[in-house]
Amino acid sequence: KPVVAIVGRPNVGKSTIFNRIVGERISIVEDIPGITRDRIYSSAEWLTHDFNIIDTGGIEIGDEPFLEQIRQQAEIAIDEADVIIFMTNGREGVTSADEQVAKILFRSSKPIVLAVNKVDNPDMKNQIYDFYSLGFGEPYPISGSHGLGLGEMLDAVTKSFKPQDEVKYGDEVIKFSLIGRPNVGKSSLVNALLGEDRVIVSDIAGTTRDAIDSPYKYDSQEYVIIDTAGMRKKGKVYETTEKYSVLRALRAIERSDVVLVVIDAEEGIIDQDKKIAGYAHDAGRAVIMVVNKWDAVDKDDKTMDRFEKKLRDHFQFLDYAPVVFLSALTKKRIHTLLPVINMASENHSMRVQSSVLNEVVMDAVAMNPTPTDHGKRLKIFYATQVAVKPPTFVIFVNEPELMHFSYERFLENRIREAFGFEGTPIRLIARARK
Ligand code: GDP
């Protein structure tokens, strides 16, 4: 999917426009239990076009002075986006900060659509001509607060989309990514995985695109490490800002089946780890927790259990995720990782038999009666698996409102125990039988 980034100095209305473009999307995403997303990145659509959109204004860059912040936000847009919306404010006219942003954007070869916001009524339209001086051609007058002009602007944006040679890997290929904050050892781990004995294959269809991914084969199983390039590319100042690493993580998660949440054993668990892991969970990907730098920890025979217990406490929503301890540096226990990836991937796409599923559900109901509300009892008629990646089950009931969270959780656990869905989230949806 093409990526669109909004840039511009503060207060021109970037997040208003972002929310307008994203529309209902965000609230749909928030229906999924888990950790809510930052409002800086979302999928969106306009007419027949699907794309992702970034509000770079939401990426705060430390305590840098104001101009440095917008400069770095513009650099991020250039790095990450296929098309850039350069937003200005029609009420204030062209400011020197706008000119600074323009200067940076000029150096990029990405298509740029110049938007003049806060043009709330037609009389103001002749104020936009000044903006030609920024050098990006026709300015598009818009009004975020009144929702005017967005259609024309989005037409210009989507017209600039180049045909995407979107990389499509076969279903038999396991796509995984490594996410985690900077310096936990993601690129070291990739290098260790791609070490001498792995055959790096370049003939999997569609691997040419900027070579951002690393396809390889081991024991006749094909894998693709998603966004290897993003992990290796280092040295930009903003690499260490939290929102930026979250953004990168989101983009990698989107294209993965299995997500390895890499945690630094030396540093312990911090909030950012939890947040990043939350995205993988929300997105319904298989998740493995990888504790790296295990070589650097003083240990006795209980250290591993203690660390795992701490992890489990922090990541209760990931109770299905296996934990792997290893060292990318010494390569110790590296060989334990691939079998776990294989297992998680298999479970992520597992299909169960309807007859067995219904036996499991009915047994569960017999064991633990369904909840009642105001004298009305939940009735379960039938369960069926409607999707994989992640396994998703629809449970037909008399009234979906009667399905309490705790009962759903109970059913989920019974289904897990019966089929062994280690490594993957599963979803239950209660529907009224028609
Ligand atoms: P990334 O930012 O997550 O890609 O992290 P890097 O792979 O660049 O690693 C960050 C630092 O941690 C580097 O100095 C690595 O040498 C070091 N490092 C990576 N893996 C290990 C490990 O298993 N053990 C130890 N002791 N250091 C490691």
Mean pLDDT across the chain? 87
CA angle 356, 362, 367 (to 5 degrees): 125
Closest CA to 12 of 82, 98, 73: 98
Q: In the predicted model, what is the mean pLDDT of residues 146-159?
A: 93
Task: Note the pLDDT of residue 204.
Answer: 45
pLDDT-derived band of residue 223, with 50, 70 and 90 as boundaries? very high
Paired tokens of 372? 């009642």
Q: For position 24, what pLDDT does the model report?
A: 57
The reported pLDDT for the residue numbered 165 is: 60
Nearest Cα to Cα of residue 153 among 83, 96, 103: 83
| 325 Cα: distance to centroid of ligand 1 (angstroms) | 14
Dmax (CA) of the chain: 76
What are the structure tokens assigned to 403, written together? Answer: 């399905």
Query: Which of 20-29, 30-39, 335-344 is predicted least confidently?
Result: 30-39
Mean pLDDT of 10-30: 74
Distance from the CA of 21 to the center of ligand 1, in angstroms?
39
Is 245 touching ligand 1 by the criterion CB < 6 Å? no
Q: Is the pLDDT of residue 389 over 90?
A: yes
Distance CA 184, CA 188 (A): 9
| pLDDT at 431 > cutoff 70 | yes
Copy the structure tokens of residue 141.
Answer: 């007058």
Q: Can you tell me which atom of ligand 1 is nearest the CA of 190?
A: 7
Q: What confidence tier does 33 reach under pLDDT thresholds 50, 70, 90? A: very low
Tens of pLDDT, residues 233-250: 666 777 777 778 778 888
In the reported structure, the alpha carbon of residue 186 is separated from the centroid of ligand 1 by a whole-number distance in angstroms of 7
Smallest CA-to-CA distance from 320 within 328, 311, 329 is with 311
ipTM above 0.85, yes or no: yes
Higher model confidence: residue 358 or residue 209? 358
CA–centroid distance, 372 to ligand 1, in Å, is 53
Residue 362's pLDDT band (boundaries 50, 70, 90)? very high
Once rounded to an integer, what is the mean pLDDT over residues 382-410?
A: 95
pLDDT in tens, 154-190: 999 999 998 766 667 888 999 999 998 888 999 889 9
Interval between CA 386 and ligand 1 midpoint (Å)? 41
Q: Tell me, using a 6 A CB cutoff, whether residue 192 lines ligand 1.
A: no
* Residue-level pLDDT at 38: 60
Range 394-413 average pLDDT: 94
Which range of 28-32, 203-207, 218-222 scores highest in mean pLDDT? It is 218-222
Q: Could you tell me the pLDDT band of residue 28, with boundaries at 50, 70 and 90? A: very low
* Single-letter amino acid, residue 224: V
Dihedral angle of Cα 383, 384, 389, 390, to the nearest 10 degrees: 0
What confidence score (pLDDT) does residue 331 get? 92
Residue 285's pLDDT band (cuts 50, 70, 90): very high
Lowest mean pLDDT among 99-103, 138-142, 276-280, 423-427: 276-280
pLDDT given for residue 65 in this prediction:
82
Residues in the chain: 434
DSSP label of 75 = H
Please give the Cα distance from 326 to 395 (Å, whole number). 40
pLDDT at 67 over 90: no
Least confident of 33-47, 173-187, 308-322: 33-47
For residue 340, how far is its CA from the centre of ligand 1 (angstroms)? 21
The one-letter amino acid at 357 = L
Question: 295 CB less than 6 Å from ligand 1?
Answer: yes
- Residue bearing the CA closest to ligand 1, atom 15: 185
Tell me the whole-structure pTM to 2 decimals. Answer: 0.82
Binding site: what residues are annotated? Answer: 8-15, 55-59, 117-120, 180-187, 227-231, 292-295
Best of 183, 189, 331, 334 for a ligand 1 pocket test (most atoms within 8 Å of beta carbon): 183
Q: Which residues are annotated as a binding site for GTP?
A: 8-15, 55-59, 117-120, 180-187, 227-231, 292-295
Q: Take residue 281 and report the two structure tokens written for it.
A: 């969970």
**pLDDT, tens only, 90-145:** 999 999 999 999 999 998 889 999 999 999 887 877 778 999 999 999 999 999 88
Contact 279, 37 (CB under 8 A): yes
- Confidence at residue 199, expressed as pLDDT on a 0 to 100 scale: 45
**Confidence check: pLDDT of 352 > 60:** yes
pLDDT of amino acid 202: 46
Q: Is 42 near ligand 1, meaning CB less than 6 Å away?
A: no
The C-alpha atoms of residue 353 and residue 350 are separated, in whole angstroms, by 10
Using pLDDT thresholds of 50, 70 and 90, give the confidence band for residue 37.
low
Whose tokens are 């591993």? That residue is 304
CA–CA gap between residue 292 and residue 163 (Å, rounded): 39
